[in-house]
Amino acid sequence: MSTLMQMAGDKAHERTITIATYPVGSERVIVEGSLVDRRLNDYYLMTGEKRPAGVIHHMVVRLLVETMEFGIEDVEVDLVAVPRVECAEVLDTLECIKGEKIVRGFSGRMKVLLGGVKSCTHLMTLLIAMGPAALQGIFSSRARKPADMTAMIADPSRVRFFLKTLLNTCRVWREDGPAMKRLRETIDAFMAEGKR
């Protein structure tokens, strides 16, 4: 058992974030994210009122994302459960992300656009989690059939964009790492084959 968990009392709170991706034709996906906060014990408000254990936040964000440059074309927000009536004021605050791209710097850009009083910290947290998951969903959607390397290498800007999407995003995809070397060798081989 974990040394830290040996010190822990009963669980008081649980946050669950789930993200799923659904293809829409061949060039778009819908990425649906859900954030649920549960208080696992009865609790008291600052006013002294007692509230029962249960869901305090349940928020859903849906993004329509085009899969060539990862641009956000549309957004929907569903506030299934929120603690205050005033929370409804944030429903349209994600409209400003239409046109944004899920590329390097996405998390920082979301903090600039949605941080502080501009939106809701929980929606922003969910959206930031959705960025990398959206890319995984796009890649998973594409991987359901063999990659069309011929089409990709026909456009050098697509090759550069694809490599930039992965390059130095983690230790595995570091510039001088074996995975990036293998990927570049594969692309180079297809390009050489295409020039024959």
pLDDT tens by residue, the chain, 196 residues = 799 999 999 999 999 999 999 999 989 999 999 999 999 999 998 889 899 999 999 999 999 999 989 999 999 999 999 998 999 999 999 999 999 999 989 999 999 999 999 999 999 999 999 999 999 999 898 888 877 767 666 777 777 877 888 888 889 999 999 999 998 888 888 777 766 5
Same domain, 57 and 125: yes
DSSP designation for 91: T
Rounded Cα distance, 97 and 109, in Å: 9
Same domain, 157 and 126: no
Same domain, 115 and 191: no
Same domain, 90 and 171: no
Q: What is the pLDDT of residue 143?
A: 81
Same domain, 11 and 78: yes
Q: What is the pLDDT of residue 196?
A: 57
Q: What is the pLDDT of residue 193?
A: 73
What CATH number has the domain bearing residue 137? 3.30.390
Same domain, 58 and 133: yes
Q: What is the pLDDT of residue 142?
A: 82
Domain count, the chain: 2
The whole domain housing 190 covers 149-195
Same domain, 109 and 14: yes
Whether residue 93 contacts residue 61, with contact meaning beta carbons closer than 8 Å, is answered with no
Same domain, 39 and 118: yes
Rounded Cα distance, 191 and 162, in Å: 15
Q: What is the pLDDT of residue 33?
A: 98
Same domain, 177 and 118: no
User: What DSSP letter does each residue of 137-182 carry, written as one string?
Assistant: HHHHHHTTS---HHHHHTSHHHHHHHHHHHTTSSSTT-TTSHHHHH
